[in-house]
């Protein structure tokens, strides 16, 4: 969910129509009108499989890391990524009180599908994108969604924070003390808290040899929106003070009726044990835990992540 150093970048590739057959190519990039402005999208991949629409994390993150880290998936199908309103190459919000609300983010998904003619899709939501994905499935009652992949998802804030606090307890005593002091005072700007936060991110956000901000597409592209992240979530991954404090869809997982994959890293902020609990609530769902990976599992272990997701999507396509 962290927004810092997540930027938008695109690669040029051709995509196929929503039917999954190479009849009418999709545009490889452009803008889609949504409530509040325009959002930037990108497609890559030329396979005949049903397209995959990816919802990035945040809030206030961008899609920059996906073109280079989902190439294995793109061998079989078009992949569509986009920047939510407020960050990356998309328009900025003019009024967060009106626009930084979950239903409006859900509307973006439908707008992209309508604009690109994506009658049939696989859906994937990463972190906060998982919250948007489940809201879309349960609130919009969409047709044509063949499956959903939850990548280290936010399904409920209370559960997320419970897991995050477990991980905080694994930090040094000095880091834990700095976090406790910041929470009591409400001052998250101290050097001690920032150091503790950095240590948390290094352990549980991304553990790979190449940091997300070193990806070429991210290093040279527009950034995310930390103000949006703080407004909706809060000052850090393990402290929520924003509008998402009350978000909770954990009791509604059983309503999902499409094939479902929960995938996370071994050291993910979205804990493997939680993914297995979620699995029990969704009939026929699958869990994949990728070793030696954090929350940005697609960055930390790109090949293993691509293999797991590709196998799941291909199995659904064959049904």
Q: How far apart are the first and last CA of the chain?
A: 33
Q: Can 295 be counted among the known catalytic residues?
A: yes
Instruction: Specify the pLDDT at position 297.
Output: 96
For residue 103, pLDDT beyond 70? yes
Q: CA–CA separation, 227 vs 75, rounded Å?
A: 36
For residue 22, pLDDT beyond 70? no
Looking at residues 286-302, what average pLDDT do you find? Answer: 96
CB-CB neighbours of 162 under 10 Å: 12
Q: CA–CA separation, 152 vs 224, rounded Å?
A: 19
Helices 191-204 + 173-185 axis angle, to 10:
120
Instruction: Specify the pLDDT at position 8.
Output: 25
Looking at residues 22-46, what average pLDDT do you find? Answer: 84
The active-site residue, picked from 76, 175, 268, 300, is: 268
Instruction: Specify the pLDDT at position 6.
Output: 29
B/e letters for 202-229, b = 16+ CB within 10 Å, e = fewer, are: eebbbbbeebbeebebbeebbbbbebbb
Looking at residues 177-193, what average pLDDT do you find? Answer: 97
For residue 244, pLDDT beyond 50? yes
What are the structure tokens assigned to 30, written together?
Answer: 């452009």
Reduced DSSP (H G I as helix, E B as strand, rest coil) percent helix, strand, coil of the chain, to 5 = 40, 15, 40
Q: CA–CA separation, 270 vs 282, rounded Å?
A: 17
The active-site residue, picked from 68, 87, 127, 236, is: 127
Under the banding of pLDDT at 50, 70 and 90, the label for residue 23 is: very low
The active-site residue, picked from 76, 126, 295, 300, is: 295
Instruction: Specify the pLDDT at position 30.
Output: 94
Q: CA–CA separation, 273 vs 128, rounded Å?
A: 19
Residues linked to residue 122 through DSSP beta bridges, in sequence order = 52, 147
Nearest Cα residue to 77 out of 133, 138, 128, 147: 147
Instruction: Specify the pLDDT at position 222.
Output: 84
Q: Can 33 be counted among the known catalytic residues?
A: no
For residue 7, pLDDT beyond 70? no
Nearest Cα residue to 82 out of 135, 29, 122: 29
3-state secondary structure of 4: coil
For residue 288, pLDDT beyond 70? yes
pLDDT > 70 in the chain, percent: 90
Q: H or E stretch including 307?
A: helix 302-317
Q: Can 268 be counted among the known catalytic residues?
A: yes
Instruction: Specify the pLDDT at position 180.
Output: 97
Domain 29-317 = CATH 3.40.50.1820: yes
For residue 27, pLDDT beyond 90? no
Helices 191-204 + 157-168 axis angle, to 10:
100
| DSSP 8-state class, residue 139 | I
Instruction: Provide the mean pLDDT of the chain.
Output: 90
Q: CA–CA separation, 238 vs 145, rounded Å?
A: 32
Q: Are 276 and 48 in contact (CB under 8 A)?
A: no
Comparing 135 with 215, the larger pLDDT belongs to: 135
């Amino acid at each position: 969910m962290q927004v810092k150093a997540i930027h938008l970048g695109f690669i040029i590739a051709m995509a196929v129509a929503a039917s999954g057959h190479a009849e009418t190519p999709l545009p490889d990039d452009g803008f889609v009108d949504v409530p509040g402005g325009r959002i930037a999208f990108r497609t890559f991949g030329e396979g005949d499989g049903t397209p995959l629409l990816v919802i990035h994390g945040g809030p206030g993150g961008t899609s920059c890391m996906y073109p280079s880290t989902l190439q294995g998936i793109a061998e079989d199908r078009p992949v569509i990524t986009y920047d939510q309103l407020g960050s990356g190459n998309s328009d900025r919000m003019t009024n967060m009180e009106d626009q930084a609300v979950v239903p409006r983010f859900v509307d973006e998904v439908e707008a992209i599908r309508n604009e690109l003619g994506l009658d049939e899709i696989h859906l994937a939501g990463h972190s906060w994108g998982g919250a948007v994905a489940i809201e879309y499935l349960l609130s919009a009652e969409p047709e044509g969604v063949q499956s959903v992949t939850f990548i280290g998802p936010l399904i409920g804030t209370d559960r997320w924070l419970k897991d995050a606090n477990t991980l905080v307890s694994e930090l040094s005593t000095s880091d834990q003390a700095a976090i406790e002091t910041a929470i009591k005072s409400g001052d998250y700007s101290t050097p001690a808290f920032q150091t503790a936060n950095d240590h948390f991110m290094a352990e549980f956000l991304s553990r790979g040899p190449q940091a997300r901000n070193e990806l070429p597409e991210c290093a040279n592209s527009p950034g995310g929106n930390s103000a949006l992240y703080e407004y909706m979530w809060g000052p850090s991954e393990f402290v929520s003070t924003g509008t998402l404090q009350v978000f909770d869809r954990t009791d509604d997982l059983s309503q999902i009726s499409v094939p479902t994959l929960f995938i996370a890293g071994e050291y993910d902020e979205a804990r493997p044990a939680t993914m297995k609990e979620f699995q029990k609530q969704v009939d026929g769902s699958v869990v994949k835990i990728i070793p030696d990976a954090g929350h940005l599992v697609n960055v930390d272990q790109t090949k293993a992540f691509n293999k797991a997701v590709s196998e799941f999507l291909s199995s659904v396509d064959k049904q």
